[in-house]
Structure 1
């Protein structure tokens, strides 16, 4: 049996233990998820280094999975737009069973390898696209069909699985093993296998966004202030990073339609909105480089009090 399908050695009788002990076991078991991702850092590094040049040329991120893995992939892709202003059309999510599977399990759909292949082919993949394929078992036919289509198109395929020696790890261009071992509830990969996938996806996509200059220091400078919370956050960042008064920060954000990067360049370099966009365009949105091109140096690295 796969590790994720097997009970832990001398597994406790969860249904017979007191609730405090049950909670302790469930929480403590999650620690293995972080350890699994830490062990996979070399593969995650290889994935980032292989994906970045493709994304810089205009490639897309395509997440593929079934069940819990598929939902985690869709979630990671959806969050890239509000967090980093990543274009929605460049973060696509495919789930076995279609969009309805996000809310209601479509258990049989994951067994259809041809569907995975067809649905990925329908996207018109190019060699610059990056396919992130997720399957805790490492052998989900739908996901393997999608990986086959990715390889046929010359796209980069990254395979994340929680069981060693499985087809997904072998067939993807870069296999990323998240070895979380047996689940406390045998076969329930929504537990620490899912946690490890979430950590790995957070790590992978965040590193890619940093590499694409969508973060400055540790600030989300590529977000768009589209609601009250984000407007407050943008205002605070414009004051802090732009070294501006509240009134000046607000005026710059309004002139730049809520976009932080040009607003920050306006504030720091004394430019108008149109002039602030020009250096950003020349250096592919790299705010630190744009500041340097404007004759400014920036020492903004981490919030005060942090090291």
Structure 2
């Protein structure tokens, strides 16, 4: 299938090796500043996808990200941050990468070219029609991702896609495509740059908005966050102090007793202690 592969188009800059460090940094930054505007244009698509994701998760479903290389790593980062940030189980948002866990740190040769592997990876989780799968591929042509989405479509599992090429196979295959046209990369074809930034911004928007809609944020606070280190415990104590107007000693006692911000606040309001 022929389409305009913008992610592979020639950079707007040339003779990069002749630029000073100052010019290189300034020009990369100049290109990066265009990314949020490209994401803004895709907000209607993101909204439609999020509404479906929220509905799936409310009905007991899970959110899966599948991708290869940078795209796969970005999905894993977003998925791994949901439990500590929002207090959800680790099997609520799941990131899968072509080549498995080894590929998180090192490139796994030809892993992204296996069109059947994502199906195998998804089946390990007994995936079903209550779930939602987002394929992430800047090019929109990654076989691993496309194979996974084809499998989902055959089994009535709703799908989304995050890509930076309009009319790409991914954009045409996904039920809820999100297309962010960021244009040529500073280094021709290096889609870890603007395309990767766009994907990260979209993933932030999807997971954060979904978790807010599911009730894991109160006001603007992460009331369900897991208190896994001293920084988060201190943050939780301050949140309880501000919400209940109690001294630090009392807030600390509540956090120690009830384990997180939501439970501390709810029990104090209910029982006054």
Q: TM-score range by the shorter chain?
A: over 0.9
Cα distance in 2 for residues equivalent to 1:34 and 1:107: 32
Asked if the contact 2:53–2:63 (Cα under 8 Å) also holds between the matched residues in 1, the reply is: no
Instruction: State the SS of the aligned residue for 2:199.
Output: helix
Q: 2:62 matched to which residue of 1?
A: 60
**2:165 is the alignment partner of 1:127:** no
Unaligned stretches of 5+ in structure 2? none
Q: For residue 287 of structure 1, what is the aligned residue in structure 2?
A: none
4+ residue segments displaced more than 4 Å: none
Partner of 2:10: 7
- Aligned CA-pair RMSD: 1.3
Residue pair 1:120, 1:150 contacting (<8 A) in 2 also: no
1:19: Cα distance to partner?
1.1
| CA displacement 1:17-54 (0-9 Å, x = unmatched) | 11101110011111121111101000010011111111
Check whether the contact 1:183–1:189 (CA below 8 A) recurs between aligned residues: yes
Q: Which residue of 2 aligns with 1:162?
A: 164
Correspondent of 1:105 among 104, 107, 116: 107
Equivalence for 1:212 = 214
Q: Give the Å deviation of 1:261.
A: 0.6
Deviations along 1:107-149, whole A, 9 cap, x unmatched? 4111111112222233211111111110000010000011112
Query: Contact conserved, 1:72 with 1:198, CA < 8 A, in 2?
Result: yes
Residue 270 of structure 1: CA displacement? 3.3
SS at match of 2:34: helix
Task: Give the Cα separation in 1 of the matches to 2:210 and 2:124.
Answer: 25
Deviation at 1:12, TM superposition (A): 2.7
CA distance in 2, matches of 1:157, 1:139: 16
Q: Is the 8 Å Cα contact of residues 48 and 204 (structure 1) preserved in structure 2? A: yes
Corresponding position of 1:199: 201
Residues 163-205 of structure 1: per-residue CA shift (max 9 Å, x gap): 1110111111100001111101011011010000000000010
Q: Which has the larger radius of gyration?
A: 1
Distance 1:185 1:107 in 2: 22
Q: TM-score, normalising length from structure 2? A: 0.95
Counterpart of 1:183? Answer: 185
User: Is 2:67–2:135's contact at 8 Å kept on the other side of the alignment?
Assistant: yes
Tell which has more relative contact order, 1 or 2 (C-alpha 8 A, sep 6+).
Answer: 2
Aligned to 1:80: 82
Q: 8 Å contact 2:255–2:261 — kept in the other structure?
A: yes
In the TM superposition, what is the alpha-carbon distance from 1:269 to its structure 2 partner? 3.6
Q: Distance in 1 between matches of 2:155 and 2:88?
A: 23
| Alignment partner, residue 235 of structure 2 | 233
- Number of residue pairs the alignment of both structures matches: 270
The TM-score, its normalising length taken from structure 1, stands at: 0.85
1:84-109 CA-to-partner distances (Å, cap 9, x unmatched) read 01100222221111110011112411
Is 1:251 the counterpart of 2:260? The answer is: no
